[in-house]
Amino acid sequence: MAPELVLGPLLRYAGETDATLWVETDAPCTVEVTADGLPHRSPTFSVEGHHYALVRLTGLQPASSYEYAITLNGEKVWPEANGDFPPSTIRTTGSDGEFVLAYGSCRVAVPHEPPYTLERGTVKRGGLGGRRFERDALFALAHKMMNNPRDSWPDALLMLGDQIYADEPSPGTLDFIRSRREPGHPPGVADFEEYTHLYHDAWGHPTMRWLLSTVPSAMIFDDHDVHDDWNSSKAWVETMRAKPWWEERVVGAFSSYWIYQHLGNLSPEELEGNDLLRRVRESEDAARVLREFAYEADREIEGTRWSYHRDFGNVRLIVADSRAGRVLTPGKRSMLGEKEWEWLREKATGDFDHLLFGTSMPFLLSPGYHNLEAASEAICDGALGQPAAMAGEFLRQLVDLEHWSAFHASFTDLASLLRSVASGERSNGDAPASVVVLSGDVHHGYLARATFGHGAHNPVYQAVGSPLRNPLGTPESLFMRAGWSGPVERFGKWLSRLSGVTEPPVSWRLVHGAPWFDNHVSTLRLSDRHAVLKVEKTTPEDAGEPHLEKILEEKLA
């Protein structure tokens, strides 16, 4: 039988003259992508009975559009014969002109029909029991694109974590789990095979397949891609590693993440020099190679770089791993290892019109919760005695006190780096017109402007886009709103001072009213030295076909 397409295509990278496309097939084969009459081929590689290819297209022209088709062993599989979507298109970047980045995070893979599309209301987030997730912002974005000309489409999509929920499996994956074992033993997904089903659920719907086939995507994991609260503390890691099912879970997480998300984040030049990819392609079945790599990736802080950068004309995007590479030694905690900090400083140095810094975890939380997290770290390290430290660790894991503010030294270092970029210290010419930190994770969105204690600097913003589809229930949203209130901010400051935490070297405020808790997607439009952020939320189930409504449009530069 002829091989078939299982998942994809995903357009992962589109530069000025080259691009990469990712596919999963049901059998080993040669994948051929034809664009503008030119064929580009790659054989598949195999992992535990699954077959993948990442095809590099070269010789493209800058600032151009190419419709493309895919064959497997010469048989056409894309576009699908019965597809009712615009042609999948590769749009290369240019050295100047407008660049539009769509971004968001936290997206569950549930059906696009009632009861899953109904309003969350008072139903608590977490698990599929409530089955109310409202409408999908990426699904609505795809519908909007199909009804508008191509020159209005985003040039890239950045997904900032929780692309899948390994600890809260989607309905399709749960059905598969039930066919092979009892759900809950172990909890969530158990291994590589079950992880593959999560990705199929997340990206397999025809509308999602079309969106991801025509908008280049960049990604980074957050905790739910592996496990809730992943790497929040040394105590958390020790507890999880003692569980009999953890090693198989984390090996499956890293192996599948490398295939489904990380490979496509790399530029074609980086892929050419990637020794692990070479070894995988040379293996008849790369399962052992990837298992060994995944185990080491979990155990070695400096052993693997998941961070990456991309340039879009004169816009630089840096995406940092703020989960896997944490240093968790009490008293020496750091969000990044030293080599990662060196890499980050190097990539933040240069002449850019705009610098975008992606991190799944917000750099700037609400002021109240920022101070509480900073105090929590000090308390867990013994600032108020051992009994308080034990209670602090319990609370740290219970209410997710694990963001940049819970790594106070790293928070201070990142603030210093952002200030130096915005003041022009790292540029030969003008400083970037804007510096924007893009984050997710917290299931509400906001835009905050940062102010540093000394020296003139261009604007620095924290823009949080969460969730794409996984809204909080009413009680949880009230809890998150409290972090922006005066009483919680004052209490956090008091506790932070009591714990001996120094004042942060930056202050910040919302540039709008209250944060928003709807499913939403954000787009950042950059042109020369100008920047505009637009945030759009999904409409209710009873509002007809899915579409987006603007809730914020703000000029950043």
Three-class secondary structure of residue 295 per DSSP: helix
DSSP 75-138: EEEES-TT--SPPPEEE---SSS-EEEEEE--B----SSTTTTS--TTPPSSSSSS------HH
With contact defined as beta carbons under 8 Å apart, do 321 and 181 qualify? no
Three-class secondary structure of residue 413 per DSSP: helix
**CA 199/CA 50 separation, integer angstroms:** 13
Q: What is the pLDDT of residue 206?
A: 96
Domains and CATH numbers, the chain: 1-95 (2.60.40.380), 96-555 (3.60.21.70)
Helix axes 367-380, 386-398, angle to 10 degrees: 130
**CA 329/CA 485 separation, integer angstroms:** 32
**CA 458/CA 192 separation, integer angstroms:** 45
Q: What is the pLDDT of residue 455?
A: 73
With contact defined as beta carbons under 8 Å apart, do 37 and 52 qualify? no
**CA 540/CA 107 separation, integer angstroms:** 17
Determine the Cα angle at 255 with ends 106 and 168, to 5°.
35
Alpha helices in 399-465 (DSSP H): 408-422
In tens digits, the chain (557 residues) has pLDDT values of 899 999 999 999 999 999 999 999 999 999 999 999 999 999 999 999 999 999 999 999 999 999 999 999 999 999 998 878 999 999 999 878 899 999 999 999 999 998 899 888 766 555 554 578 999 999 999 999 999 999 999 999 999 999 999 999 999 999 999 999 999 889 999 999 999 999 999 999 999 999 999 999 999 999 999 999 999 999 999 999 999 999 999 999 999 999 999 999 999 999 999 999 999 999 999 999 999 999 999 998 777 899 999 999 999 999 999 999 999 999 999 999 999 999 999 999 999 999 999 999 999 999 999 999 999 999 999 999 999 999 999 999 999 999 999 999 999 999 999 999 999 999 999 999 999 999 999 999 999 999 997 777 899 999 999 999 999 998 899 999 999 999 999 999 999 999 999 999 999 999 999 999 999 999 999 999 999 999 999 998 776 788 999 999 999 99
Helix axes 367-380, 486-498, angle to 10 degrees: 20
Place of tokens 């993948």: 52
**CA 488/CA 514 separation, integer angstroms:** 15
Q: Which of 43, 3, 35 is nearest to 19 (CA)?
A: 35
Q: What are phi and psi of 427, to 5 degrees?
A: -120, 150
Q: Where are the beta strands (DSSP E) in 340-471?
A: 354-359, 434-439, 446-452, 460-464
In the structure encoding, which two tokens stand for residue 304, read together?
A: 């693997």
In the structure encoding, which two tokens stand for residue 289, read together?
A: 């190679």
Helix axes 192-203, 206-214, angle to 10 degrees: 90
In the structure encoding, which two tokens stand for residue 253, read together?
A: 């997480």
In the structure encoding, which two tokens stand for residue 534, read together?
A: 């637009």
Question: Does the reported pTM lie above 0.95?
Answer: yes
Helix axes 287-299, 275-282, angle to 10 degrees: 150
Beta strand 520-527 with 99-104: parallel, antiparallel or unpaired? antiparallel
Q: What is the pLDDT of residue 122?
A: 63
Q: What is the pLDDT of residue 119?
A: 86
